[in-house]
Structure formats: C-alpha cells, structure tokens
Amino acid sequence: MKNLVLLISGRGSNLQSILQAAREQGWMDSVRGVISNRADAAGLDVARSFGVPTQIMAHTDFASREAFDQALGDVIAALQPDVIALCGFMRVLGEAFVTRFSGKLVNIHPSLLPAFTGLRTHARALEEGVKWHGATVHLVSSALDHGPILAQAVVPVLDDDTPQSLAARVLVEEHRIYPPVVRALLEGRVQTDGLRTRILPAPEHLS
C-alpha cells in the first residue's frame, strides 16, 4: 500500500468518510498526515480522533500564492505521498504545485463535471434548471476543476430543492464515492488514457 496525505480547510466531512473507510478496511497505515491551511478547521479534530498526525500551513503567513504553494509542497514532500487527496481544500493550487505532484492529486467536486466548475455549484444548478446534479472525483490538472474523471454520482433535482437541500443529498454521495477511489489509487488500480479512466476491481482478498 502507498502513502496518503490529505488536505483540508473546513469541517472535514469527506476526510472523515475516507478515514472511516481506511479504519474499517484496514489501510490506515497508508495515512501519513492531514494538513490544513486554517488553524480553526474542524477537520483537524476529526483527524486527531483517528490518531492521524496534523499540520497547519496558514496561507495568510505567506506573501504570495507561489510562496505558499512552495512551502506547502515541501511539507507534503517530506511525507513521501503517493496520493494527495483534497478534502474541501479551499485554495486554488498553482500550476507549479500541480506539476510537482502530477498524477498524485485527487479532488472531489460538488457537481457533475465538466458542468459547474468553481463555487456555488448547487445554487447554479438550480438557476440553470438542470434535472440532475451530483459529485465528481477527478485527478487534478492545472485547469480549475478539470482533469480525468474517476467517479461520479448523480442525484435528481427536486421541484422544492434549495441549494442547502440539494447540497445535503450530494454530500451523501460524495461520502460514498470518494473513499473507494482513494483506495484504488493507493492500490494502483487506476488506469488513465488521456481523459479516459478505468478503475480495476480490487482482488478478492482486498475487497
């Protein structure tokens, strides 16, 4: 099994879903650490409750985005990660950072990419009148919310939905689809061909 580092900025609900799966399925030894750019991120307490080492790298301590990316990258590199999972990490990572960790960065986004990149995805889905919405797990590229798609989950948009109710249903799906993809990456079961991807099934003794 390879090494996993997780980046957070907030409550850490996707972090918790990944750590819970890791504990239940026996791959906690892969989790090397959790890094937050906010000292008040609730996800830090989530990580500590699982016994995972945490670090704080406040972006406000750096004069530029590039300086922060360099310092964050150095901290991550010291943990020798094979997979870096973004779990609500609310900083846009620059091209140099993405290139440095090319093929190792994975993110979950609350829309059916390539639709609704960026912020306010649920409100925008309602404004556009779409009938289906969801979440996407993807490898990170230098283009915001792009990169090869690894998994998606779909929820119907209901007539009485609000951004909050829609977000809540999508979040349930995020928690369902993200941990298996992270595990597959750690086990080397992800194949990519340009933007097309395939996740191989886990051997029976690992399932």
**Which residues are known to be catalytic?**
109
* Residue whose tokens read 């360099």: 70
Alpha carbon 102 to chain centroid distance?
Answer: 15
Instruction: Please return the burial class of 205, using the count of CB atoms within 10 Å of its CB with bins 0-12, 13-18 and 19+.
Output: exposed
Find the radius of gyration of the CA atoms of the chain. 17
Integer Cα distance of 25 and 206 in angstroms: 8
